Amino acid sequence: MKRIYNIKVGCLALTLLLLLGAAACQAPGGEGESSTVGDPTLLESEQNSLETESESESQGEGESEAVTDSVTEQPSESETQTEPPTTEQTTAGQEVPDGEIVTPSAQGYTYPDMVDDLAALAQTYSECFSYQSIGKSVDGREIYACVVGNPNAEHKVLLTGGIHGKEYLSSLVAMKQMEYYLANRAEGSYSGLQYAELLDTHAFYVLPMINPDGVMLALCGIDSIQTPEVRETVEKIYADNLRDGLTSTNDINVYLAYNWKANANGVDLNRNFPLSNWAEVKTGILAPCFRNYKGPSAGSEPETKAVSAYVESLGKIDALLAYHTAGQVVYWDCGMTGGVRQQTLDLAKAVCEHTGYKLIYDKHLDASLNDWITLDRDVPSVTVELANVIYPMPTSELEAAFEQVKELWVITAQLFG
Ligand SMILES: [Zn+2]
């Protein structure tokens, strides 16, 4: 859409201007800084952030059934010393083909970017796309659920992104994937399956940004918080993490950009799903934090409440693809048994074969969306860790990540259809 393209170019220009002064959405690093934000000698937590994302990163003790070599890619010395990229660097070289709705913006891919793109997709593809809010975040943002394809179809596939704040790229890829199938539905096909048939026989339920507050905190800093009490909460978590040695930077926006995965209460939503044996879940973090705190009770957070209620309303679902970053790996195995175990393994292997990602057993119970949907609801699910770079993740990762996963709707449909 030319109109959208122009808006985004305009936004980029505006942002560059705003970076010179006060900005509504500060780039990480805070007011007035544009290139030398942060502490390039990084902190313990930030070093962790440089490692391959692992949904079992809190695992520590216990049995390990990993069947592959360690997937942790140690960053090179030069990478660890690299300063956080500036807004200009993250957007350099991005091409925005005419007609494309979903594209990165100057900050990466923010909640307002997504809201604009959802409206544009609905306007352009009204016959095959719809979306609705399924609830609100802690800081009052909408949590959106989209339907691509035939809402009355027997086959339903769930796709999620943006459950972890700094992993905004997963939202962008999920959004871009919806546009890809919508834009190519008349002529496109893959592996012998016409997209028109795919979207006629399937409904793809896409929740592109489950944690909008977390995404905004990571991309736009503390000033993105709209509610004074919520801001106080996040500032206190930062102070506590600083006191406890989980971070050492004196810039809260650097801390947020490098680390923040939680919602605005400091609860890791992917540790908060109402798993039947939630009480047994041990994450190693006992208080609100940028990651891995499972919350005061199962399903305590408005975001997890909204998502779990929505998923329950859908009835039988063929499969869940949960997009995260990073590492180019696929996690499966949360200790399930019976038929769903084989179905999940088949899905995980198919995703790995298509993407070239590594298959990782992850038996650790962590009350993730995947654990809940597979263990309590018998839905095969995999965690797909996109891209393989340090945080804050540049938008230049988008194209490669998208190319690797874009046909996964077909791959999944052919397994379960
Ligand atoms: Zn994640």
The H-or-E segment that residue 320 falls in is strand 319-325
Give the distance (Å) from ligand 1 centre to CA of residue 291. Answer: 10
What residues contact 289, with CB distance under 8 A and at least 6 apart? 237, 240, 241, 246, 262, 266, 268
Give the distance (Å) from ligand 1 centre to CA of residue 325. Answer: 6
Q: Which amino acid is residue 374, in one-letter code?
A: T
Give the distance (Å) from ligand 1 centre to CA of residue 51. Answer: 12
Residue 259 placed within a domain:
no
Give the distance (Å) from ligand 1 centre to CA of residue 399. Answer: 19
Q: Which amino acid is residue 151, in one-letter code?
A: P
Q: Binning pLDDT at 50, 70 and 90, where does residue 67 land?
A: very low
Q: Retrieve residue 87's tokens.
A: 């807004």
The whole-number pLDDT of residue 74 equals 30
Give the distance (Å) from ligand 1 centre to CA of residue 53. Answer: 7
Residue 240 placed within a domain:
no
Q: Could you give the 3-state DSSP secondary structure of residue 143? A: strand
Cα 368 to chain centroid, rounded: 13
Question: 155 forms bridges with which residues in the sheet?
Answer: 202
Give the distance (Å) from ligand 1 centre to CA of residue 218. Answer: 13
Write out pLDDT tens, residues 325-349. Answer: 999 999 999 889 999 999 999 999 9
Phi, psi of 22 (to 5 degrees): -70, 140
Residues 416 and 266: their CA atoms lie apart, in Å, by 37
Residues 133 and 115: their CA atoms lie apart, in Å, by 11
Give the distance (Å) from ligand 1 centre to CA of residue 136. Answer: 20
Residue 251 placed within a domain:
no
Report the CATH number that the domain containing residue 336 is assigned in CATH: 3.40.630.10
Residues 242 and 337: their CA atoms lie apart, in Å, by 42
Write out pLDDT tens, residues 161-184. Answer: 999 999 999 999 999 999 999 999
Stated length of the chain: 417
By CB atoms closer than 10 A (0-12, 13-18, 19+), residue 36 is exposed
Give the distance (Å) from ligand 1 centre to CA of residue 155. Answer: 26
Residue with tokens 């006060």: 22
By CB atoms closer than 10 A (0-12, 13-18, 19+), residue 118 is buried
Residue with tokens 């044996």: 277
Give the distance (Å) from ligand 1 centre to CA of residue 238. Answer: 20
Give the distance (Å) from ligand 1 centre to CA of residue 163. Answer: 7
By CB atoms closer than 10 A (0-12, 13-18, 19+), residue 358 is middle
Q: Which domain holds residue 11?
A: 2-214+301-416
Residue 122 placed within a domain:
yes
Residue 264 placed within a domain:
no
Give the distance (Å) from ligand 1 centre to CA of residue 389. Answer: 14
The whole-number pLDDT of residue 84 equals 43
The answer, yes or no, to whether residue 1 has pLDDT greater than 80, is no
The answer, yes or no, to whether residue 357 has pLDDT greater than 80, is yes
Give the distance (Å) from ligand 1 centre to CA of residue 213. Answer: 15
Residue 291 placed within a domain:
no
Q: Which of 64-78, 95-109, 180-194 has the lowest mean pLDDT?
A: 64-78
Q: Which of 56-70, 181-195, 262-276, 358-372 has the lowest mean pLDDT?
A: 56-70
Phi, psi of 155 (to 5 degrees): -95, 125
Residues 209 and 317: their CA atoms lie apart, in Å, by 20
Give the distance (Å) from ligand 1 centre to CA of residue 191. Answer: 30
Give the distance (Å) from ligand 1 centre to CA of residue 140. Answer: 22
Give the distance (Å) from ligand 1 centre to CA of residue 196. Answer: 32
More confident residue, 334 or 415: 415
Q: Please tell me the total count of domains within the chain.
A: 1
Give the distance (Å) from ligand 1 centre to CA of residue 167. Answer: 6
Mean pLDDT score of the chain? 82
Give the distance (Å) from ligand 1 centre to CA of residue 35. Answer: 27
Q: What is the DSSP letter of 283?
A: -
Residue 167 placed within a domain:
yes
Q: Could you give the 3-state DSSP secondary structure of residue 206? A: strand
The H-or-E segment that residue 247 falls in is none
Give the distance (Å) from ligand 1 centre to CA of residue 38. Answer: 23
The answer, yes or no, to whether residue 38 has pLDDT greater than 70, is no
Q: Binning pLDDT at 50, 70 and 90, where does residue 65 land?
A: very low
Give the distance (Å) from ligand 1 centre to CA of residue 2. Answer: 33
Give the distance (Å) from ligand 1 centre to CA of residue 45. Answer: 15
Give the distance (Å) from ligand 1 centre to CA of residue 330. Answer: 12
The β-bridge relationship of strands 358-361 and 129-136 is unpaired
Furthest C-alpha separation in the chain:
59
Give the distance (Å) from ligand 1 centre to CA of residue 364. Answer: 15
Q: Binning pLDDT at 50, 70 and 90, where does residue 99 land?
A: low
Q: Binning pLDDT at 50, 70 and 90, where does residue 362 land?
A: confident
Write out pLDDT tens, residues 113-167. Answer: 999 999 999 999 999 999 999 999 999 999 999 999 999 999 999 999 999 999 9
Q: Binning pLDDT at 50, 70 and 90, where does residue 29 land?
A: very low
Residues 70 and 188: their CA atoms lie apart, in Å, by 38
pTM: 0.82
Give the distance (Å) from ligand 1 centre to CA of residue 298. Answer: 19
Give the distance (Å) from ligand 1 centre to CA of residue 189. Answer: 30
Give the distance (Å) from ligand 1 centre to CA of residue 99. Answer: 31
Give the distance (Å) from ligand 1 centre to CA of residue 174. Answer: 14
Give the distance (Å) from ligand 1 centre to CA of residue 6. Answer: 32
What is the mean predicted confidence (pLDDT) over 244-260?
97
Nearest to 393 by CA among 38, 109, 103: 109
Give the distance (Å) from ligand 1 centre to CA of residue 36. Answer: 27
Residues 30 and 19: their CA atoms lie apart, in Å, by 9
Q: What is the DSSP letter of 270?
A: G
Q: Which of 201-205, 231-235, 283-287, 363-367 has the lowest mean pLDDT?
A: 363-367
- Sign of CA pseudo-dihedral 119, 123, 126, 128: negative
The whole-number pLDDT of residue 204 equals 98
Give the distance (Å) from ligand 1 centre to CA of residue 8. Answer: 27
Give the distance (Å) from ligand 1 centre to CA of residue 188. Answer: 31
Residue 23 placed within a domain:
yes
For 7-49, the DSSP string reads HHHHHHHHHHHHHTS--SSPPTT-TT-SS--S-TT--HHHHHH
Q: Could you give the 3-state DSSP secondary structure of residue 386? A: strand
More confident residue, 358 or 67: 358
Residues 353 and 326: their CA atoms lie apart, in Å, by 18
Write out pLDDT tens, residues 89-98. Answer: 333 334 445 5
The whole-number pLDDT of residue 389 equals 80
